[in-house]
A and B are shown apart, each in its own frame.
Chain A
Amino acid sequence: MSVFGGVFRQSSARLFSTVLLLSHAGTCARTRMHAVPKLRELDRWTEKRGVFGVYDNIGILGDFKAHPKDLIRGPVWLRGFSGNELQRLIRKKRMVGGRMLTEDKHSLDKRISFLYRRFNRYGKHR
């Protein structure tokens, strides 16, 4: 009997506290309006921004002679390819390794063996 009475008294106190919180209007965070930084002035209509995305549907609208991945400008081993670091480095070694500079090739080989060991020998995912 007394246990139940205590429980009810506790729950009613909590009820009152939530009611008080809900009725409190406004926020405690004070925003310093004079220190808000200005937005960067950007020209949204430069040549690049105005025609961005044109020819992205060249496959479906152009008889499938070209693929959107042919539009990507970048390193040869990354056009139309995505993968984790080890996959990217292996692909780079296969495609471009023959003409890399010696120190870069050495760092690439070291990184590949390090990542191979890390992914396949230690940790939960192997």
Chain B
Amino acid sequence: PRDFSPQFISSVSGESALPSNLRLPPNLIGVAPQKRASPSGSDLPVLRRCEADIPAHLAPAQTWLESLGSRDSEPLGVVDLHPDVFSVPLRLDILHAVEVWQRNFKRISHAKVKSRAEVSGGGRKPWNQKGSGRARHGSIRSPLWRGGGVAHGPRGPSSYYYMLPMKVRVQGLKIALTAKLAQDYLHIVDSLEIPTPDPHYLLDLVKHRQWGDSILIVDVGDEFPQNILKATEDMKTVNIIPAIGLNVHSMLKHESLVLTLEAVKFLEKKLLWHDVRYVPLYPFKLPYSDLP
């Protein structure tokens, strides 16, 4: 929650509220950023309407359209966002499932230990079955012995691959976008042109507008303006990705999300198609006559 400030009730009145052995996490949001005015009651024009049809019972979500040109520039206008992408019910379980999937489906664990058959040696019976007085053994590399193989250890490189249904992954993206918009962490920008390739300019802008600690900038296409590429090159917490690379984990890791208008149009088109498509008869990567 953004308005969180640590409030501790102390039994002794008059003392300072924080106990001495308190350890606060470094990412604790102590100071709530000032809330911006809602764009619904403003005079600025609506600069972008949704291309797709909006259902009659829903109203488009609205945000400011900003510019990265100068630090103190005012919002240029208001932008309409499709409610079926930016105002879906917030299913945290789907978000969790998609995040866990992203962590695990690529995981290949290389842990492997030798079993008793693979450890060198141990083919001969160490002593006779009967007569020596010692316990009976068949090989010196059995799991009972020191230096012997492991009975049920991790075996070989193993993979944790699985796929969630396509619509679940799509819904996860929609929920993440909705959450960013609802918590005021989404910013729409007309284009990524900045005046200087200096990283300090971006940091200053972000701090002035109180956008947060980490920014994820998303734009469509292969070409990005050189200035912003140079500025974000050495910055750890400000990352720029193409719109194809958008995913739930990055959205949750970075505190705020900056989309361009083309990125919004691209995402709406891609994510809304799954609501109206037919069940695939064969994988979508094979050609369909009506798909581009």
**Bound form: Cα–Cα A72–B253 in Å:** 21
Contacts of B2 in A (CB 8 A): none
Name the interface size band of chain B: 35 or more
Asked if B97 is at the interface of the complex by the 8 Å CB criterion, the answer is no
Question: Could you say which of A57, A64, A110 contacts B285, with CB atoms under 8 Å apart?
Answer: A64
Q: Could you count the A-B residue pairs with CB atoms below 8 Å apart for me: how many are there? A: 109
Given contacts A54-B241, A64-B283, contact A82 B247 (CB under 8 A): no
Instruction: Enumerate A56-108 residues with CB–CB distance to B below 8 Å.
Output: 56-65, 67-69, 71-75, 78-82, 85, 88-89, 92, 107
Asked if A55 is at the interface of the complex by the 8 Å CB criterion, the answer is yes
Contacts of B239 in A (CB 8 A): 50-51
Greatest chain B CB density within 10 A among A45, A79, A107 is at A45
Asked if A33 is at the interface of the complex by the 8 Å CB criterion, the answer is yes
B105 engages A68 (CB within 8 Å): yes
Contacts of A69 in B (CB 8 A): 105, 161, 163
Name the interface size band of chain A: 35 or more
B249 engages A81 (CB within 8 Å): no
**Bound form: Cα–Cα A63–B214 in Å:** 29
**Bound form: Cα–Cα A101–B170 in Å:** 44
A64 engages B284 (CB within 8 Å): yes
Contacts of B214 in A (CB 8 A): 45
A33 to chain B, nearest CB (A): 7
> Which residue of chain A lies nearest to B214 when distances are taken between CB atoms in the complex?
A45
A57 engages B173 (CB within 8 Å): yes
A57 engages B21 (CB within 8 Å): no
A50 engages B169 (CB within 8 Å): no
B161 engages A111 (CB within 8 Å): no
B157 engages A78 (CB within 8 Å): yes
Asked if B245 is at the interface of the complex by the 8 Å CB criterion, the answer is yes
Asked if B274 is at the interface of the complex by the 8 Å CB criterion, the answer is yes
Question: Could you say which of B159, B160, B253, B285 contacts A67, with CB atoms under 8 Å apart?
Answer: B285
A40 to chain B, nearest CB (A): 14
Contacts of B156 in A (CB 8 A): 85, 88-89, 92
Asked if B162 is at the interface of the complex by the 8 Å CB criterion, the answer is yes
Question: Could you say which of A45, A71, A111 contacts B106, with CB atoms under 8 Å apart?
Answer: A71
Contacts of A92 in B (CB 8 A): 156
Contacts of A81 in B (CB 8 A): 159, 161
Instruction: Enumerate B139-182 residues with CB–CB distance to A below 8 Å.
Output: 155-163, 166, 169-170, 173
Asked if A37 is at the interface of the complex by the 8 Å CB criterion, the answer is no
A53 engages B102 (CB within 8 Å): yes
Contacts of B270 in A (CB 8 A): 60-61
Contacts of A61 in B (CB 8 A): 243-244, 246, 266-267, 270
Given contacts A45-B236, A60-B169, contact A53 B161 (CB under 8 A): no
A75 engages B157 (CB within 8 Å): yes
Contacts of A82 in B (CB 8 A): 159-162
**Bound form: Cα–Cα A57–B241 in Å:** 13
Contacts of B162 in A (CB 8 A): 82
**Bound form: Cα–Cα A88–B158 in Å:** 8
A20 to chain B, nearest CB (A): 24
B178 to chain A, nearest CB (A): 16
B250 engages A53 (CB within 8 Å): yes
> Which residue of chain A lies nearest to B238 when distances are taken between CB atoms in the complex?
A50
A-B contact pairs, 7 of them (CB 8 A): A57-B173, A57-B246, A61-B270, A71-B106, A81-B161, A88-B157, A92-B156
Supply 17 further A-B pairs (C-beta < 8 A) apart from A59-B285, A72-B106: A53-B253, A55-B247, A59-B166, A60-B166, A60-B173, A61-B243, A61-B244, A61-B267, A69-B163, A72-B161, A73-B108, A78-B159, A80-B161, A82-B160, A82-B161, A82-B162, A107-B117
| Interface residues of B, Cβ cutoff 8 Å to A | 21, 102, 105-106, 108, 115, 117-118, 155-163, 166, 169-170, 173, 214, 236-237, 239, 241, 243-250, 253, 266-267, 270, 274, 283-285, 292
